[in-house]
Amino acid sequence: DAGVIQSPRHEVTEMGQEVTLRCKPISGHNSLFWYRQTMMRGLELLIYFNNNVPIDDSGMPEDRFSAKMPNASFSTLKIQPSEPRDSAVYFCASSLQGWYGYTFGSGTRLTVV
């Protein structure tokens, strides 16, 4: 099993540009989570999906952030327009809904200049 696959690993973009982060969960997992990690705020849950349906997006910081899960094997997190304060490592994780821990991807390090 290749685990949770995120792309790109690193992204450097200019303020105002659109950024799209991608995630492929583990096959068979039916829950998907997007987290953001910064030194100041630690690991923050942004949004999660169960069976491709968004369940809780209360952690999405602003309307500039949006997430989709068009099918069980793919999800995107989009920031439009990006700002320097969005610079962070973004993690995607997947799990089997219920009593199992999360498997995290390697993350996307986003730098907005």
Partner 1 sequence: GENVEQHPSTLSVQEGDSAVIKCTYSDSASNYFPWYKQELGKGPQLIIDIRSNVGEKKDQRIAVTLNKTAKHFSLHITETQPEDSAVYFCAASINNNDMRFGAGTRLTVKP
81 vs 103, beta carbon nearer partner 1: 103
Minimum CB separation of residue 99 from partner 1 in Å reads 6
Token pair of 107 as six digits? 């993350």
Smallest gap from Cβ 83 to partner 1, in A, equals: 24
Using alpha carbons, list the distances in angstroms from residue 83 to 65, 112, 113.
Answer: 11, 6, 8
Name the minimum Å distance from CB 38 to partner 1: 11
Closer to partner 1 by Cβ: residue 55 or 113: 55
Interface residues with partner 1 (CB under 8 A)? Answer: 4, 31, 33, 42-43, 45, 48, 50, 55-56, 91, 93, 95, 97-107
Q: How far is the CB of 17 from partner 1 (least distance, A)?
A: 25
Helices (H) and strands (E) in the chain, counts: 0, 11
Q: How far apart are CA 75 and CA 105, in angstroms?
A: 13
DSSP annotation string for 7-28:
E-SEEEE-TT--EEEEEEPPTT
**Closer CB to partner 1, 15 or 41, in the complex:** 41
